[in-house]
Amino acid sequence: MNIVNARKVSHRLETETTIWKVRPIEWFLAGGLALTGKTTAGPDVWAFVSLCWIASLVMTWTHPKRSLMAFNMVLIPVDIIVISTAVSLSGGLASPGFLLYGIDVLFLVTYASWRWVTLGTAAIVAGYGLASQGWASAQFWWHAFFLAFIVLVAQSLASSAMKAVRSASASKVKVEQLAALKSLQGSLVELSDLRSMVTTILQTGTQLLQTQAGYAARWTSAGTLQMMAQTGLEDEAEWDPRDSYEAEALTRTEITYWKNISSHDPVKIDHGLRGRHYHELALVPLKDGVTVIGVLAFAGQRRVVPLVDQQVVLEGLADMVVSQNRFAQAQSEARKRGRLLAILERVGRIVNRNLEMNNLLRSLHQAVAEELETDSFLVALTLPDDPDRILMQYLFDEGHEYTPEVMDITQGGPTERVLATQEALLFSGSMGPSQLLGSYRVPRSAIFAPLEFEGEMIGVISTQSYRIDYDRDHVEFISSIASQAAIAIQNAQLYQRTESVALTDHLTGLGNSRRFAMALRSAIDYSRIANMALSLLLIDSDSLKQINDRYGHIAGDTHLQVLSNVIRRNVRDQDTACRYAGDEFVIILPNTQVGEAMTVGERIRREMDGKFAWKDSMIGATISVGAAQLQPTMTQEELFAAADRAMYEAKQNGKNRVVAS
């Protein structure tokens, strides 16, 4: 059972147990209600009351461990009969017992099926009508309308809650899968040959996907498929894929999915899959750029979540196989070229150990520095939507690491020339109209090499020295480093994009609470190391509840999106804005005193003050803002608590204001 379905079963069992525990109270109340009738209670009434109370005691002390849901569903008609009898005995239409029907309405809603809720509600209304004999009474129909209204509201709330739970559960599963893939990436560094790497990938894949078999195969120059590694299958060395199921997968760019594979032609399904009576098979093309170099396959028994719905994991595993295959090819070439490429093998292991960009580039710099004297080292990455500027992702100069910065590309400078020619350049002394960085010293010698991935320029890597002269061997070394670094950088960018999905709030596009916790911890550490100020803003909408109540939740969501856009316009690139929870937003402001933070909060407050338009109405929406500054002895939780106290003080003092702790 996968993670999502295990949680569903657990939640379902908790709900069913709660219903079972509430039902005795319902029957006890029904029995008590029967005694409130205007007529003298006769033997029939006392018999009914005794039966209800005895049944309540029995249910209180028993708990069916199996088929609890079936017991609860079967007892719903019994509930209706018991309550209807109580209503009849306690005055019919004049009895307040119709309110007990509301408990069964809530029971019905928990099953989250409109069809059964509708049928159950109709049964309740019919039972109430028979018990009260009030079909012709307006009071009866008002009561029936009231019960229907409860159904509508409860079902809507239940649907919203279920969506939120499913979304949170799916997000958590994605994070867990990403963590597993990241751990797998790290474990591959310890392996020395491609077969061991791919076998490890396949074994991890069968665990994540809950399949029983898997294999990876690649094209050969002879037009056959060669087995790279397999788990749970017959170990075929090489075979002709024509007329087989692999032939279709090798010509497609997306995942190919087969069901009921044991019923297919033996020629189509091979490797012993049919003999094991596996139900489903997923084949992922191994794409190295635009070229399909092979196929990755996983097969197993029938699953609750089909393999075709595990696209992120399947494609992630395929990318790892391609990366390791590419890395293995680079290793093979390295051994042929002697000492220089032997060094590249070690460098490749270092850079491929990291999926986090900053750690990757620091490791890359360290690897180069161990083999080549370098005083300054930089990695600049292209911006797909801005060809005139470049992101200086990593810059180290004379012992100091600088923060990333977007810069203009100097016309005629080395970066522009390398991006245009896609060739490495060696400079001695002057580098032309180059924009000097870091310490602003002119290097004695410098090498600029292109970072190229799948035929596309993704950036430039450079090493510079103030003491020695580089030569063509050094250029070849840096160029070879760059070819492997480009693969690692592309993998890190892919990981960043995937991780961003799990750290982003779907409604506003800002970071979520998990992103906030990670960013605040990092900002506090850096603030103390660099001896810099750090401030925190906590923003709370004063108007969300009123907007939701009066205009609906769509208007409320729009209000939150407007607020997030206002926040985004008023913060710097180095600031971090997140939606913490509900209508609360947080902004981390590095290198900022609390007074400056209050200025930022005031700008946001003024821009939001009474300016939220919904359809043809201008709604008077406001916000309250709390500001706090990190003190030397403060923990992460204490800084947040200080901003939270300030925000509540703003609320208590009339809202629509900024208050500092």
* DSSP sequence for 3-36: HHHHHHHHHHHHHHHHHHHHHHHHHHHHHHHHTT
Of 237 and 303, the structure prediction assigns the larger pLDDT to 237
| Chain position carrying tokens 């580089």 | 470
Of 47 and 12, the structure prediction assigns the larger pLDDT to 47
Assign 251 to helix, strand or coil. Answer: coil
Nearest to 308 by CA among 298, 293, 320: 298
* In a domain? residue 453: yes
pLDDT (0 to 100) of residue 4: 45
246 and 316 housed in the same domain: yes
Tell me how many helices (H) and strands (E) the chain has. Answer: 18, 20
Lowest mean pLDDT among 52-61, 160-169, 390-399: 160-169
* In a domain? residue 507: no
Last residue of a domain, one of 456, 471, 499: 499
Assign 534 to helix, strand or coil. Answer: strand
| Half-sphere exposure at residue 635, Cβ-oriented, CA atoms within 13 angstroms | 3
* In a domain? residue 184: no
224 and 313 housed in the same domain: yes
514-548 per-residue burial string, b: 16 or more CB within 10 A, e: under 16 = bbbeebbeebbeebeeeeebbbbbbbbbbbbeebb
470 and 426 housed in the same domain: yes
| CATH number of domain containing 342 | 3.30.450.40
Last residue of a domain, one of 499, 534, 561: 499
80 and 225 housed in the same domain: no
* In a domain? residue 183: no
Give mean pLDDT, residues 567-593. Answer: 92
484 and 415 housed in the same domain: yes
| CATH number of domain containing 597 | 3.30.70.270
Last residue of a domain, one of 468, 499, 530: 499
492 and 524 housed in the same domain: no
Greatest mean pLDDT among 91-100, 488-497, 584-593: 584-593
Question: How many domains does the structure of the chain reveal?
Answer: 4
* In a domain? residue 426: yes
Q: Please state, in angstroms and rounded to a whole number, the distance separating the CA atoms of residues 384 and 107.
A: 54
242 and 127 housed in the same domain: no
* In a domain? residue 505: no
* In a domain? residue 292: yes
Q: Please state, in angstroms and rounded to a whole number, the distance separating the CA atoms of residues 523 and 532.
A: 10
360-384 pLDDT per residue, tens: 888 888 888 888 888 999 999 988 8
Evaluate if residue 336 carries a pLDDT over 50. Answer: no
Contacts of 124 (CB under 8 A, 6+ apart): 80, 101, 104, 105, 147
pLDDT (0 to 100) of residue 164: 62
Residue 628's domain comprises: 513-660
- How does DSSP assign 114-159, residue by residue? HHHHHHHHHHHHHHHHHHHT-TT-HHHHHHHHHHHHHHHHHHHHHH
518-541 pLDDT per residue, tens: 889 989 998 998 899 999 999 999
451 and 528 housed in the same domain: no
* In a domain? residue 355: yes
413 and 297 housed in the same domain: no
**CA-CA-CA-CA dihedral for 427, 431, 435, 439, to nearest 10:** 60
Of 31 and 405, the structure prediction assigns the larger pLDDT to 405
311 and 390 housed in the same domain: no
User: Which residues are known to be catalytic?
Assistant: 583
302 and 343 housed in the same domain: no
Residue 193, Cα to own-chain centre: how many angstroms?
A: 33
Task: Answer yes or no: pTM beyond 0.85.
Answer: no
pLDDT (0 to 100) of residue 593: 94
Assign 76 to helix, strand or coil. Answer: helix
Instruction: Mark out the alpha helices in 296-390 (DSSP H runs).
Output: 311-336, 339-351, 357-371
280 and 410 housed in the same domain: no
